[in-house]
């Protein structure tokens, strides 16, 4: 399988990775081999995605069964369910970007199908 992020098929080095694939040269005092914790970020995004999806579903069900005179009202519960749904969508987009970044930075595996 060929890596599509670079014409030569080589992985993009972490020092040059980003959304576009280019960054300015290092100017800080961080080690030259410093790496971001993409794996940990993926775990946190999956946890947030599950939390927001469950919250959106629970708030939606609660809003559907709430009486008009209940506190919090049906409108407030629906608004909170929509807000959790938007946060869920943001978490999905973040997860897609993280998985693409990790796939671009890893060397291709030869001999495996």
68 in a structural domain: yes
Question: If you average pLDDT over residues 64-78, what whole number do you get?
Answer: 89
28 in a structural domain: no
17 in a structural domain: no
Q: Hunting for tokens 């970044």 — which residue is that?
A: 101
Domain count, the chain: 1
82 in a structural domain: yes
11 in a structural domain: no
pLDDT at 65 over 50: yes
Predicted confidence band of residue 4 (pLDDT cuts 50, 70, 90): very low
Predicted confidence band of residue 51 (pLDDT cuts 50, 70, 90): very high
22 in a structural domain: no
Q: Which domain, by its residues, includes 48?
A: 36-105
113 in a structural domain: no
In whole angstroms, give the CA distance from residue 30 to residue 45: 25
19-43: per-residue pLDDT in tens? 555 555 666 676 767 677 888 999 9
């Amino acid at each position: 399988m060929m890596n599509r992020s670079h014409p030569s098929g080589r992985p993009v080095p972490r020092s040059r990775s980003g959304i576009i694939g280019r960054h300015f040269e290092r100017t800080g005092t961080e080690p030259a081999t410093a790496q971001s914790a993409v794996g940990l970020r993926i775990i946190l995004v999956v946890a947030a995605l599950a939390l927001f999806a469950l919250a959106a579903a629970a708030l939606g069900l609660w809003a559907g069964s709430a009486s008009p005179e209940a506190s919090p009202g049906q409108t407030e519960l629906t608004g909170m369910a929509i807000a959790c749904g938007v946060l869920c969508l943001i978490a999905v987009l973040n997860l897609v970007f993280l998985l693409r970044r990790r796939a671009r930075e890893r060397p291709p595996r030869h001999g495996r199908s």
